[in-house]
Amino acid sequence: VYRQEGETRKIHHLLLAPTFEIVEQINEVLQEHGNLSEDGRPTLDLTSPTLVETVRDVSDQVEVIPCHIWTPWFSLFGSRSGFDSLDACYRDQSKHIHAYETGLSSDPPMNWRVSELDRLTTVSFSDAHSPWPFRIGREATVLNLEDLSYDAIL
Protein backbone atom coordinates (compact mmCIF):
# COMPACT_ATOMS: atom_id res chain seq x y z
CA VAL A 1 0.00 0.00 0.00
CA TYR A 2 1.52 3.28 -1.07
CA ARG A 3 0.70 6.69 -2.51
CA GLN A 4 1.67 7.62 -6.02
CA GLU A 5 0.55 10.75 -7.85
CA GLY A 6 -1.94 11.51 -5.08
CA GLU A 7 -3.64 8.11 -5.28
CA THR A 8 -3.53 5.19 -2.84
CA ARG A 9 -2.18 2.14 -4.65
CA LYS A 10 -2.58 -1.46 -3.47
CA ILE A 11 -0.74 -4.05 -5.53
CA HIS A 12 -0.28 -7.69 -4.48
CA HIS A 13 3.04 -9.15 -5.62
CA LEU A 14 4.51 -12.64 -5.61
CA LEU A 15 8.29 -12.82 -5.22
CA LEU A 16 10.25 -15.82 -6.49
CA ALA A 17 13.84 -16.39 -5.39
CA PRO A 18 16.29 -19.15 -6.32
CA THR A 19 17.58 -19.92 -2.80
CA PHE A 20 16.56 -19.58 0.83
CA GLU A 21 19.69 -17.50 1.39
CA ILE A 22 18.37 -14.93 -1.08
CA VAL A 23 14.93 -15.10 0.57
CA GLU A 24 16.56 -14.26 3.91
CA GLN A 25 18.41 -11.33 2.31
CA ILE A 26 15.17 -10.07 0.77
CA ASN A 27 13.45 -10.34 4.16
CA GLU A 28 16.23 -8.32 5.79
CA VAL A 29 15.79 -5.53 3.26
CA LEU A 30 11.98 -5.57 3.21
CA GLN A 31 11.53 -5.61 7.00
CA GLU A 32 12.75 -2.00 6.89
CA HIS A 33 9.60 -1.17 4.89
CA GLY A 34 6.84 -3.05 6.72
CA ASN A 35 5.80 -5.88 9.01
CA LEU A 36 6.66 -9.17 7.30
CA SER A 37 4.85 -11.23 9.95
CA GLU A 38 1.45 -9.91 8.96
CA ASP A 39 -0.88 -12.78 7.91
CA GLY A 40 1.07 -13.76 4.79
CA ARG A 41 0.33 -10.40 3.20
CA PRO A 42 2.90 -7.90 4.44
CA THR A 43 2.07 -4.29 3.73
CA LEU A 44 5.14 -2.43 2.52
CA ASP A 45 5.65 1.29 2.05
CA LEU A 46 7.44 0.82 -1.27
CA THR A 47 6.12 1.82 -4.66
CA SER A 48 5.94 -1.03 -7.16
CA PRO A 49 8.98 0.18 -9.14
CA THR A 50 10.96 0.61 -5.92
CA LEU A 51 9.97 -2.89 -4.77
CA VAL A 52 11.22 -4.39 -8.04
CA GLU A 53 14.46 -2.43 -7.88
CA THR A 54 14.99 -3.25 -4.19
CA VAL A 55 14.59 -7.02 -4.53
CA ARG A 56 16.60 -7.13 -7.76
CA ASP A 57 19.40 -5.29 -5.95
CA VAL A 58 19.55 -8.35 -3.67
CA SER A 59 19.67 -10.69 -6.68
CA ASP A 60 18.87 -10.17 -10.33
CA GLN A 61 17.42 -13.70 -10.29
CA VAL A 62 14.43 -12.57 -8.20
CA GLU A 63 11.17 -12.49 -10.13
CA VAL A 64 8.33 -10.14 -9.23
CA ILE A 65 4.89 -11.19 -10.42
CA PRO A 66 1.82 -8.96 -10.03
CA CYS A 67 -1.01 -11.15 -8.72
CA HIS A 68 -4.73 -11.43 -9.52
CA ILE A 69 -4.28 -8.42 -11.78
CA TRP A 70 -8.00 -7.75 -12.37
CA THR A 71 -9.49 -7.91 -8.87
CA PRO A 72 -10.86 -4.54 -7.76
CA TRP A 73 -8.69 -4.40 -4.64
CA PHE A 74 -4.93 -5.03 -4.33
CA SER A 75 -4.14 -5.53 -8.00
CA LEU A 76 -2.37 -4.05 -10.99
CA PHE A 77 -5.53 -3.18 -12.94
CA GLY A 78 -7.89 -3.04 -9.94
CA SER A 79 -10.66 -0.49 -10.31
CA ARG A 80 -10.27 0.62 -6.69
CA SER A 81 -6.53 1.04 -6.38
CA GLY A 82 -4.76 -0.03 -9.53
CA PHE A 83 -3.27 1.48 -12.68
CA ASP A 84 -4.29 1.78 -16.31
CA SER A 85 -1.13 0.14 -17.62
CA LEU A 86 1.84 -1.98 -16.64
CA ASP A 87 4.20 0.90 -17.44
CA ALA A 88 2.22 3.34 -15.28
CA CYS A 89 2.66 0.96 -12.35
CA TYR A 90 6.25 -0.20 -12.79
CA ARG A 91 7.70 2.70 -14.79
CA ASP A 92 11.38 2.06 -15.60
CA GLN A 93 11.18 -1.35 -13.90
CA SER A 94 8.52 -2.73 -16.30
CA LYS A 95 11.27 -4.48 -18.26
CA HIS A 96 11.83 -6.72 -15.21
CA ILE A 97 8.22 -7.94 -15.06
CA HIS A 98 8.07 -11.22 -17.00
CA ALA A 99 4.77 -12.75 -15.84
CA TYR A 100 1.40 -11.89 -14.35
CA GLU A 101 -1.00 -13.96 -12.27
CA THR A 102 -4.59 -14.01 -13.48
CA GLY A 103 -6.64 -14.68 -10.36
CA LEU A 104 -10.29 -15.72 -10.41
CA SER A 105 -11.38 -12.35 -11.79
CA SER A 106 -10.12 -12.95 -15.31
CA ASP A 107 -10.18 -15.35 -18.20
CA PRO A 108 -7.81 -15.67 -21.19
CA PRO A 109 -9.86 -13.50 -23.62
CA MET A 110 -9.93 -10.72 -21.04
CA ASN A 111 -6.12 -10.75 -20.79
CA TRP A 112 -5.66 -10.99 -24.57
CA ARG A 113 -7.41 -7.62 -24.96
CA VAL A 114 -4.49 -5.85 -23.24
CA SER A 115 -1.66 -5.95 -25.76
CA GLU A 116 1.05 -4.94 -23.27
CA LEU A 117 0.49 -8.29 -21.53
CA ASP A 118 1.40 -10.20 -24.71
CA ARG A 119 5.12 -10.21 -23.88
CA LEU A 120 4.46 -11.65 -20.40
CA THR A 121 3.91 -15.22 -19.27
CA THR A 122 0.45 -15.91 -17.88
CA VAL A 123 0.25 -17.93 -14.66
CA SER A 124 -2.63 -18.86 -12.36
CA PHE A 125 -2.38 -19.86 -8.72
CA SER A 126 -4.80 -20.24 -5.86
CA ASP A 127 -4.69 -17.55 -3.21
CA ALA A 128 -2.68 -19.43 -0.57
CA HIS A 129 -3.23 -16.82 2.15
CA SER A 130 -6.97 -17.44 2.08
CA PRO A 131 -8.25 -18.90 5.38
CA TRP A 132 -10.50 -21.34 3.51
CA PRO A 133 -8.76 -24.65 2.66
CA PHE A 134 -11.18 -25.40 -0.18
CA ARG A 135 -9.71 -22.43 -2.08
CA ILE A 136 -6.24 -23.94 -2.26
CA GLY A 137 -5.71 -25.58 -5.63
CA ARG A 138 -8.75 -24.08 -7.32
CA GLU A 139 -6.35 -22.56 -9.87
CA ALA A 140 -3.05 -23.96 -11.04
CA THR A 141 -0.36 -23.54 -13.65
CA VAL A 142 0.96 -26.72 -15.24
CA LEU A 143 4.70 -26.60 -15.92
CA ASN A 144 6.12 -28.99 -18.51
CA LEU A 145 9.74 -29.17 -17.34
CA GLU A 146 12.63 -31.42 -18.30
CA ASP A 147 14.21 -30.83 -14.89
CA LEU A 148 12.83 -29.30 -11.73
CA SER A 149 14.98 -26.25 -11.09
CA TYR A 150 14.49 -22.55 -10.49
CA ASP A 151 15.93 -21.70 -13.91
CA ALA A 152 13.67 -24.22 -15.65
CA ILE A 153 10.60 -22.76 -13.93
CA LEU A 154 11.52 -19.27 -15.07
pLDDT digits (tens, 9 = 90+) for 45-86: 999 999 999 999 999 999 999 999 988 888 899 888 878 999
DSSP reduced 3-state for 45: coil
Predicted confidence (pLDDT) per residue in 127-144, tens digit: 666 667 777 777 778 889
**Helices 20-30 & 48-58, crossing angle to 10 degrees?**
130
More confident residue, 33 or 82: 33
What pLDDT is recorded for position 1?
A: 81
Of 43, 63, 67, give the one whose Cα is nearest residue 122.
Answer: 67
* pTM assigned to the model: 0.90
> Using CA atoms, how far apart are residues 75 and 15, in angstroms rounded to an integer?
15
